[in-house]
Amino acid sequence: MLIKFFYTLRAAKLPVSVREFLSLLEGLKAGVIGAEGAASIDDFYYLARTTLVKNEALFDKFDRAFGAYFKGVELLTDFSKEVPLDWLRQHLQLELTPEQKAAVEKMGWDELMATLKKRFEEQQGRHEGGNKWIGTGGTSPFGNGGYNPQGIRIGGAGKNKSAVKVWEQRAYKDYDDQLELGTRNIQVALRRLRKFAREGAELELNLDDTIHQTAANAGFLDIRMQPERHNKVKVLLLMDVGGTMDEHVHRVEELFSAAKTQFKHLEFFYFHNCVYDFVWKNNQRRFAEKTATWDIIRKYNKDYKLIFVGDATMSPYEILQPGGSVEYNNEEAGAEWLQRLTQGFPNYAWINPEPQGVWQYRQSVALIQQLMHQRMFPLSLSGLEGAMRLLSK
């Protein structure tokens, strides 16, 4: 059984060696798990990941391969438990007609947060359906699995993309910068943003100068060296991850992989929906190892080209309202941080993987476009070329 598991991991392009696999078998034989009874699939998961995966960047690939092999296994969901999740187990998905959806009232921000606090104080148990309590289904602004034009999703997964706050802590995966591109189109488009210079140690033969100096020395060989020629453009890449961006993971991974290839001076960070007072480098440790946005503005020079990558699809409150983040109570609105970043890095652009045809129907996209001074481009070949032309000026 585990031999096939080993080959499944190798097929997923995980660098798992025979020696590491033997360490896993030795651990099982020694009773590392299941010493006090039958081992669970979760126990085996942690043991296998510890012995077989040596790089945290590969955790997501391992999760997918593990889930594909052990069909139906539930992996690593880390919810905060301030709200009992057994209230929120979803047994139905509410489907409403357009007329019924139009009849559901939309609350303002202050009313929404005040009402949520009141529901926490009043509610005593799990609830399904209805239009008032925290639960699943129904048209209440609080819970998941139902419909409300503007509410707070508590647990579950988004369906209508209308939640203004999400009451749970999620673990998003890092984008894979080692993805093998099926096409070189993105790389070709990024090459428009190039400015070459010869800097550093003299490691490369200067053939023309060597020939000239040798001839000048009456045939005595005079080897001349020069620094390697590199693209000196510096890029600061801020990428939206998780939520609605899950639909665009593959294309953003292609862009990220191409950027790692094309730009020697590349710094990247992640954010979710909108940039606030911190960003992060690793989604496994996103709440433990944060980087202050102020530190980024102060650390990197103004000659960095700032590129945002995100679908700009969110509640307008996340951009305009203090405390509007879906994940925590940010002290300052997202718009304030976007303005600080664009002032700190005057050469900037926003790449949007959403089809350009739907931008006009998203209020948040219009807000981001305004904050970016219309420097938003689609994640397409022509869009990337346009963005690179703008950044190269």
What band does 284 get if pLDDT is binned at 50, 70 and 90?
confident
Q: Is residue 74 part of a domain?
A: no
Q: With 90 as the cut, is the pLDDT of residue 372 above it?
A: yes
Average pLDDT of the residues in 361-389:
92
Query: For the segment 294-327, what is each residue's pLDDT rounded down to a tens digit?
Result: 999 999 999 999 999 999 999 999 999 999 888 8
Residue 147 has what pLDDT? Answer: 53
Q: With 60 as the cut, is the pLDDT of residue 183 above it?
A: no
The CA distance from 192 to 180, in Å, is: 21
Verify that 6 and 102 share a domain, yes or no: no
Residue 73 has what pLDDT? Answer: 41
Verify that 270 and 333 share a domain, yes or no: yes
* Higher local confidence (pLDDT), 278 or 166: 278
Q: With 50 as the cut, is the pLDDT of residue 361 above it?
A: yes
What band does 120 get if pLDDT is binned at 50, 70 and 90?
low
Verify that 252 and 366 share a domain, yes or no: yes
Average pLDDT of the residues in 45-49:
88
Verify that 225 and 256 share a domain, yes or no: no
Verify that 224 and 336 share a domain, yes or no: no
Verify that 152 and 250 share a domain, yes or no: no
Verify that 239 and 381 share a domain, yes or no: yes
Q: With 80 as the cut, is the pLDDT of residue 101 above it?
A: no
Q: With 70 as the cut, is the pLDDT of residue 27 above it?
A: yes
Average pLDDT of the residues in 367-381:
94
Verify that 58 and 120 share a domain, yes or no: no
What band does 168 get if pLDDT is binned at 50, 70 and 90?
very low
Q: With 80 as the cut, is the pLDDT of residue 12 above it?
A: yes
Verify that 38 and 106 share a domain, yes or no: no
Query: For the segment 244-271, what is each residue's pLDDT rounded down to a tens digit?
Result: 898 888 888 888 888 888 888 899 999 9
Q: What percent of the chain has pLDDT over 70?
A: 65
Verify that 379 and 343 share a domain, yes or no: yes
Q: With 70 as the cut, is the pLDDT of residue 354 above it?
A: yes
Q: Is residue 152 part of a domain?
A: yes
Select, from the ranges 22-31, 91-100, 176-185, the one with the highest average predicted confidence (pLDDT).
22-31
Range of the domain at 140: 85-166
> Nearest Cα to 174, choosing from 285, 13, 50?
285
Q: What is the mean pLDDT of the chain?
A: 77
Query: For the segment 137-162, what is each residue's pLDDT rounded down to a tens digit?
Result: 566 655 555 555 555 555 555 555 54
Verify that 287 and 368 share a domain, yes or no: yes
Q: Is residue 267 part of a domain?
A: yes
Q: Is residue 79 part of a domain?
A: no
Residue 7 has what pLDDT? Answer: 87
Query: For the segment 194-235, what is each residue's pLDDT rounded down to a tens digit?
Result: 665 456 666 678 888 888 888 888 888 888 887 766 667 899
Q: Is residue 178 part of a domain?
A: no
* Higher local confidence (pLDDT), 71 or 215: 215
Q: What is the CATH number of the domain that holds 251?
A: 3.40.50
Q: Is residue 123 part of a domain?
A: yes
Please tell me whether the overall predicted TM-score, pTM, comes out greater than 0.85 for this model. Answer: no
Average pLDDT of the residues in 283-303:
88
Q: With 80 as the cut, is the pLDDT of residue 347 above it?
A: yes
* Higher local confidence (pLDDT), 14 or 106: 14
Give me the number of domains the chain comprises: 4
Q: With 90 as the cut, is the pLDDT of residue 345 above it?
A: yes
Verify that 135 and 23 share a domain, yes or no: no
Q: Is residue 180 part of a domain?
A: no
What band does 376 get if pLDDT is binned at 50, 70 and 90?
very high
Residue 309, beta-bridge partner list: 239, 351
Q: Is residue 174 part of a domain?
A: no
